[in-house]
Amino acid sequence: MTQTPVQPSPQPPVAKKVPAPRTHHGDVFEDNYEWLRDKENPEVVDLLKAENAYQEAVTAHQEPLREAIFQEIKGRTQETDLSVPNRKDGWWYYSRSVEGKEYGIQCRVRAQDTGDRVADWTPPAVEAGVDLPGEEVLLDGNVEAEGKPFFAVGGSAVTVDGTLYAYAVDNAGDERFTLRIKDLRTGELLPDVIENVFYGISFSPDGSRIFYTVVDDSWRPFQVKSHMLGTPVTADEVIYQEDDVAMWLGFELSADRRHLVLGIGCSEFSETRLLRFDDPGAGLTTVISRDERILYEAEPFLLAGPDGEKTETILLTHNKDAVNSMVSLVDPAELAKPVAEQHWRTVVAHSDDVRVNGAGVTATHLVVSIRKDTIERVQVLPLAGLGTPAQGAPVEPAFDEELCTAGVSGSDYEAPVIRMGYTSYFTPSRVYDFVLPTAELPAGELLLRKESPVLGGYSSADYVATREWAEASDGTRIPLSVLRHASVARDATAAGLVYGYGSYEMSMDPGFGIPRLSLLDRGIVFVIAHIRGGGELGRHWYDDGKKLHKKNTFTDFIAATDWLAGSGWVDPARIAAMGGSAGGLLMGAVANLAPEKYAAIVAAVPFVDALTTILDPELPLSALEWEEWGNPITDPEVYSYMKSYTPYENVRAAAYPKIAAVTSFNDTRVLYVEPAKWVQRLRELTTGSEPIVMKIEMEGGHGGASGRYVQWKERAWDYAFVADALDATELLPGAGLK
């Protein structure tokens, strides 16, 4: 009898060692894999291709599961769909998606003005797959992407009169865009083409100029420029250049489009500069100097007084004597005085329990975004009487779910409504128009415009979301969102996945996700850990997870894992962890701290070689990271603290679980070299036998490849890796597509 020879197990690629000592503050770290940074080196490219080949061999048995999850995502998604039209000036703008096509199609139809304000701002009924009379296609992403390895739009803008359309396209995945302008009357492109622009573009109100941002060599936006249509790009004017390498620059038009508003800042303080469109020769004026170390945003607008006369006023959302921020009004004349002598009128007072995220204005109302009890909310106040004893009470649109997210997704200055997005873990995203309160309608009115359809027999009743609390080692209570299929029994046999981020004051807010259902349907209990470093519980929550408190982020995540292990829902031996970008640093840190607690770890575009990156201010975004992690170049305490937790330096002799590092060759935020070095070091030192793989998208950026089907396949890969490692590949009885 002939025996089938046993196939040798695939062997991981082994990178050669080229010692490269890194010396700072008297400390020497021997880095054997730094040579992998040279992406032009054919040896590096060959190694990365070998990594993909190894990953494909190790995970080949997961292909049927990946395909099943992909088909579940596809089967639940209404592929031919459209957005709710959004009115801007005299047009309704919306996007269509078409089954079988990767990219959206941007369209518009003309709006009507009948004199009935709410009716005129009621979007037209657009049907999937059916053209509206008078529909114009502004940009078909499928046509634009044809023959290109990558496609993403980094911004678009239309002139007030609706005749010109500008759009910025990236065909490499490196988030540097080419700006083009289309004449919507003829369909022809103007000869004006601007290369290497950054996100965000705007026309001047008169349509004669277009504003855009440029990044420097370290990928930091540092210039706002103005292009006069019909003139050479070489003649474009630099409106402002920010030379501080630790400051980020952006711009927008004020809500009433009377000013260009430049925002300069970091996460700890900022500066706003204004340019009046009716007097551009006056140049830029500074609202509050960065030297005051105040973190603020400023919105200039015209506020009517008791006599009805409108005067120039500036709305400030700021943290002056207010760690959670507050909202004030200031007259421009006050800005000439020292800040300590200026008179600011309080509109929204500071609260230890409420974080003010931002504020803006319409022609009639102040709109404030706040966070309370971890949840994002919206409040509106009438402009009449604002900042005086006659100020009206805030009105908050009411929703009936505890764990939900409601935010303003767009509003036009003149509109009687604000557009709002709403979602929860098991409520598909909804679009509402909130009719702003009036004397006749004091509570306002929520008008549901759309709930995104979910196909395949989806029912929210099949799933459960609860708020639980883990306890950190220092006694801090960590909020958790625990998601599961309703049929999972609490008998300590299920599998579990813990997801986290915990940086930059970013909150992991409740939101619906079709791909996640495929894990829940396989009995995996999904825990989102709202750890310190995020913004869920106010500014203190962020401050307690950054710089010299960063380790709280990692130990909070482990506390969340321990809660899950002891919850009665899961088998402690069947827990995985997942996170991306700064959440990938989190994955690397917990892998070093507690490898025994996880059966598998997925780290997407992981910031695992953070210290090397931040020590080199020439690398993309490095200087901007100092506000988050500290500056290890100048501060030996920061260097020592970072070196004690950064994943690459702290890989040790331990039995690491299955690990997948997922990255992109052209990522400009977290360079591919970080996970490439990390997996080599992990394989070198692990005492276990579990595979450590790297999946690298050779044509994608920080968000992976472009195109929705490709992105679904990437998510299916991640989830199949987790489900396979947890032995949770089969659907629960009655779960899945119906």
How do residues 258-311 score in pLDDT, each as one tens digit?
Answer: 999 999 998 889 999 999 999 888 899 999 999 999 999 999 999 998 888 999
pLDDT at 5 over 80: no
Q: What is the pLDDT of residue 669?
A: 67
Residue 587: which H helix or E strand, with range?
Answer: helix 582-593
pLDDT band, very low/low/confident/very high, at 524 (cuts 50, 70, 90): very high
Where does the pLDDT of residue 1 fall: very low under 50, low under 70, confident under 90, or very high at 90 and above?
very low
Q: Looking at the DSSP assignment, which residues form a beta bridge with residue 702? A: none
What CATH class does 41-75+456-609+646-725 carry?
alpha beta
Question: Is 41-75+456-609+646-725's fold the same as 308-453's?
Answer: no
How much is the pLDDT for 317?
A: 98
Q: What is the dihedral of CA 332, 334, 339, 343, to 10 degrees?
A: -110
pLDDT for res 79: 75
Q: Where do the DSSP E strands lie in 159-208?
A: 164-170, 177-183, 189-197, 201-203
| Token duo for residue 503 | 């940086």
Q: What percentage of the chain carries pLDDT values higher than 90?
A: 82
pLDDT at 282: 85
Please give the structure tokens belonging to residue 209: 């100029």
The residue length of the chain stands at 738
Task: Judge whether residue 429 has pLDDT over 70.
Answer: yes
Name residues whose C-beta falls within 8 Å of residue 75's C-beta, 6 or more positions apart in sequence. 455, 456, 737
Better-predicted residue by pLDDT, 279 or 314:
314
Q: Using CB atoms within 10 A of its CB, is residue 438 exposed (0-12), middle (13-18) or buried (19+)?
A: middle
pLDDT of residue 653: 98
- pLDDT category at 622 given cuts 50, 70, 90 is low
SS3 state at 518: helix
Query: How do residues 370-400 score in pLDDT, each as one tens digit?
Result: 999 899 999 999 999 999 999 999 999 989 8
- Degrees (nearest 5) of the Cα angle 589, 592, 596? 120
Question: Nearest CA to 124 among 140, 139, 107, 101?
Answer: 107
Tokens 């993909």 found at: 52
pLDDT digits (tens, 9 = 90+) for 536-561: 999 999 999 999 999 999 999 999 99
Q: Tell me the pLDDT tens digit for each residue of 433-480.
A: 999 999 899 999 999 999 999 999 999 999 999 999 999 999 999 999
Segment among 200-214, 646-660, 662-676 with least mean pLDDT: 662-676
Average pLDDT (617-635) is: 82
Rounded Cα gap, residues 455 and 431, in angstroms:
18
**CATH fourth-level superfamily of 308-453:** Prolyl oligopeptidase, N-terminal domain (2.130.10.120)
DSSP 232-258: -GGG-EEEEE---TT-EEEEEE-TTSS
Crossing angle of helices 673-685 and 42-58, in 10° steps, is 60
pLDDT in tens, 706-726: 568 888 999 999 999 999 999
Contact yes or no for 300/314 (Cβ under 8 A)? yes
Contact 480, 563 (CB under 8 A): yes
What's the pLDDT at 704?
A: 47
Average pLDDT, the chain: 93
pTM of the predicted protein model: 0.87
Of residues 563, 565, 553, the one with CA closest to residue 590: 553
- The whole-number average pLDDT for the span 364-373 is 95
Catalytic residues: 581, 667, 702
pLDDT of residue 670: 72
Phi, psi of 218 (to 5 degrees): -95, 15
Residue ranges of the alpha helices (H) in 86-174? 117-120, 141-145
pLDDT of 723 reads: 98
Percent over 70 (pLDDT), the chain:
97
- Contacts of residue 192, Cβ cutoff 8 Å, sequence gap at least 6: 180, 181, 227, 229, 230, 233
Q: How confident is the model at residue 705 (pLDDT cuts 50, 70, 90)?
A: low
Domain boundaries, the chain: 41-75+456-609+646-725, 308-453
- Give the mean model confidence (pLDDT) for residues 486-500: 98
Q: pLDDT value at position 111?
A: 94
| Main-chain phi, psi angles of 565, to 5 degrees | -60, -35
